[in-house]
Structure 1
Amino acid sequence: MQDLKGFLDEKVEEYNRPEFIILDPISIPHQFSKKEDIEITGFIAAILAWGQRKTIINKCQELFQLMDNDPHQFIIHHKESDLKPFLSFKHRTFNEIDTLYFIHFFNWFYKKHTFLEEAFLIGQTGSQDSMFSILEQFHEFFFSIPDAPNRTKKHIATPKRKAACKRINMFLRWMVRSDDKGVDFGIWQKIKPSQLICPCDLHVDRVGRKLGLITRKQTDWQTAVELTEKLREFDPEDPVKYDFALFGLGVEEKF
């Protein structure tokens, strides 16, 4: 186990560096410096993160250009007529209904709150295993606006439906993890890195199984928890840093 920790620690150092950003959806929020813009663009980039990474990045660029690359200001101050260009935006099954609801939610939210972290604190219990509650309560809050479109609910995963919640866990890693490497932002303080759950995508899942970190047959919420618990044995304070190692081994090295 110590050998595996050493191997993964080396891979974290190899992949947790600014060069990683360029080809990853995290490059989108890195184009912004204002905290609200980082939250908005990071959240949307994470939710749109399925398919080829180059396509994801291009679609995000397209979407934020429609907001004049000033998303927080656009979301707060836009007029109804400004929304017309968004009717043609689509990425895979994410369509104009979903896009307009995201804008509507953020408009509603930022008029009442300062930072998006507040939306994730509703289910916060402070314990290491409170992420189930955090994500479940966030999902309910996100769709608590009257007439929220039912079809959009499939784009925000919840562990209540046993989903692995890969994209939302990835977004939380970006916002919560803090180090001096320049990849993750670490701009949220009230959720601890020790609480995070590893984003369990196709590559991470495959490598995790090869390394004996996952034994569960299916890939669901419990699988992500199982993987994270194993990673906590290597670093209880920052287990999700190993996402860099597992993802890098899967994508870059075809491990």
Structure 2
Amino acid sequence: MSFEELKIFLDEKADQYNQVDFIENDPIQIPHRFSLKQDIEIAGFLAATISWGNRKAIIKSADKMLDVMGNSPYDFVMNHSEAELKALQNKSIHRTFNGEDFGYFIRQFQRIYRENESLENLFTIQDLEINFQHAIERFRSQFLGTEKHRSHKHISSPYKNSSTKRIIMFLRWMVRKDKRGVDFGIWKNVDQRFLSIPLDVHTGNISRKLGLVTRTQNDWKTVEELDVTIRKFDDKDPAKYDFALFGLGVTKELI
């Protein structure tokens, strides 16, 4: 396909999948149950954190966390008791993300929200930055702190060349602003032009089949290679093409 043909094709696929019926079977349904900004952030971050594997299993595990929090994430974060967190210690949540990790995240959320109205404050883009690489790393250091803990592995580092797929997906949910009703766009001070495509096995394979990337690894360097290509199609809203690549991966249209 020529550049123009590929752009038309990807625009059509993005339009096809960026619809409200996308929400029903995707982990983004978890934060969509809430209207309070902080509830959306916490539920969204937790759902994104466990987003690996089968989508039905992810949603089921996220439901488990919401049940623990009484379906009021922000209230639970700010007002939980130590006994409630202690009760999580041996609880199974989702694969390697266990009750100890969940409790650790709750404590970190409480500390952050005591000092900030929104998680948005931890993801600001600074001058000369072209994507969220450094913002994600700054967030990691503020959220995780200096204490070593097993939970640190659940927030990947672009400085270690991870694609940080789950954080980038969370950022898309919070930052992208359109009128389709899927992404929230509740962060008003972060520009969506800095967003990247959440890169995993599926979006990576589709990107290679379409000639969008040449690298064979699904790592941060490939995220940046995809940034360069995808922003040629739309430099103001590059992350909309996540819907296209995801949809093509689900339908196996290119196989």
With the length of structure 2 as denominator, give the TM-score of the two structures.
Answer: 0.95
1:19 aligned residue: 21
**Whole-angstrom CA distance in 1 between matches of 2:24 and 2:213:** 29
| Cα-to-partner distance string for 1:44-100 (whole Å, 9 max, x where unaligned) | 100100010000000000111110000100110111122244231321111122111
**Given the superposition, is the C-alpha separation of residues 68 and 51 from structure 1 closer, same or farther in structure 2, using an over 3 Å criterion?**
same
Matched to 1:138, the amino acid is F
1:244 aligned residue: 243
Matched to 1:48, the amino acid is I
**Given the superposition, is the C-alpha separation of residues 125 and 89 from structure 1 closer, same or farther in structure 2, using an over 3 Å criterion?**
same
In the alignment, is residue 143 of structure 1 matched against residue 140 of structure 2?
no
Query: Matches of residues 73-152 of structure 1 in structure 2 within 5 Å?
Result: 73-87=75-89, 88-121=91-124, 124-127=125-128, 129-144=130-145, 147-149=147-149, 151-152=150-151
Identity %: 46
Matched to 2:130, the amino acid is D
Question: How far has the Cα of 1:253 moved from its partner?
Answer: 3.5
2:178 aligned residue: 179
2:31 aligned residue: 29
**Whole-angstrom CA distance in 2 between matches of 1:6 and 1:198:** 18
Q: Secondary structure at the match of 2:115?
A: coil
**Whole-angstrom CA distance in 2 between matches of 1:182 and 1:133:** 29
| Cα-to-partner distance string for 1:152-172 (whole Å, 9 max, x where unaligned) | 111101110000110000000
2:12 aligned residue: 10
Question: How far has the Cα of 1:188 moved from its partner?
Answer: 0.4
Instruction: Kindly report the root-mean-square deviation, in angstroms, between the aligned alpha carbons of the 2 structures.
Output: 1.3
Query: Matches of residues 181-200 of structure 1 in structure 2 within 5 Å?
Result: 181-200=180-199
Contact 1:176 1:193 in 2 (8 A): yes
**Whole-angstrom CA distance in 1 between matches of 2:129 and 2:14:** 22
Contact 1:175 1:188 in 2 (8 A): yes
Contact 1:165 1:221 in 2 (8 A): yes
Deviates more, 1:129-138 or 1:159-168: 129-138
**Whole-angstrom CA distance in 2 between matches of 1:72 and 1:163:** 29
What stretches of structure 1 move > 4 A for 4+ residues in a row? none
Question: How far has the Cα of 1:126 moved from its partner?
Answer: 4.1
In the alignment, is residue 210 of structure 1 matched against residue 209 of structure 2?
yes
Matched to 2:138, the amino acid is Q
Q: Secondary structure at the match of 1:236?
A: coil
**Whole-angstrom CA distance in 1 between matches of 2:114 and 2:239:** 32
Deviates more, 1:85-94 or 1:105-114: 85-94
Unaligned runs of 5+ in 2: none
**Whole-angstrom CA distance in 2 between matches of 1:84 and 1:69:** 19
1:230 aligned residue: 229
Q: Secondary structure at the match of 1:22?
A: helix
**Given the superposition, is the C-alpha separation of residues 78 and 181 from structure 1 closer, same or farther in structure 2, using an over 3 Å criterion?**
same
Matched to 2:43, the amino acid is T
**Given the superposition, is the C-alpha separation of residues 77 and 148 from structure 1 closer, same or farther in structure 2, using an over 3 Å criterion?**
farther
With the length of structure 1 as denominator, give the TM-score of the two structures.
Answer: 0.95
